[in-house]
A = this chain, B = another copy of it.
């Protein structure tokens, strides 16, 4: 099975197991080795007192894309640290896209940059996540579906 197909199965398995992603309406647009792009529509229960996206929800979306990207090789990784810069407000009903890209991997550590963008590609937030590998698979090998066309 190819690296990108593994990444797609890991991302969809992680999403299905979470309490958060399905509840937030997260959808996976694309996953690949060290990469994930996901989408979420901002709801009223995700807004702060100014009626715009709560910073916690922008972080949560970016952190979700980061999790799929840093686990994409089917090796269990967890977030050790993350930093986010808030650039613009996002509004109720707006579709947000979070795109995670691997910046570097060294030993058990990895660093990922995640861009959160709103409509017309407007920059909403930039996130940097630092992961550490725990070893072991995310999906046990028997559970990975072989794709004979891959």
Contacts and interface: CB of A to CB of B under 8 A. Distances in A.
A63 B63 CA distance: 14
A49 interface: yes
* Most chain B C-beta atoms within 10 Å of own C-beta, residue among A44, A46, A80, A115: A80
A30 B79 CA distance: 30
Nearest to A113: B113
Contacts of A48: 14, 17-20, 67
B79 A81 contact: no
Interface in A18-38: 18-20, 23
B19 A47 contact: yes
Contacts of A23: 45
Interface string A89-121: 000000000000001111101010101000000
14 contacts: A19-B44, A19-B45, A19-B48, A19-B54, A48-B67, A55-B60, A56-B56, A56-B64, A59-B59, A103-B115, A104-B126, A106-B122, A106-B123, A126-B128
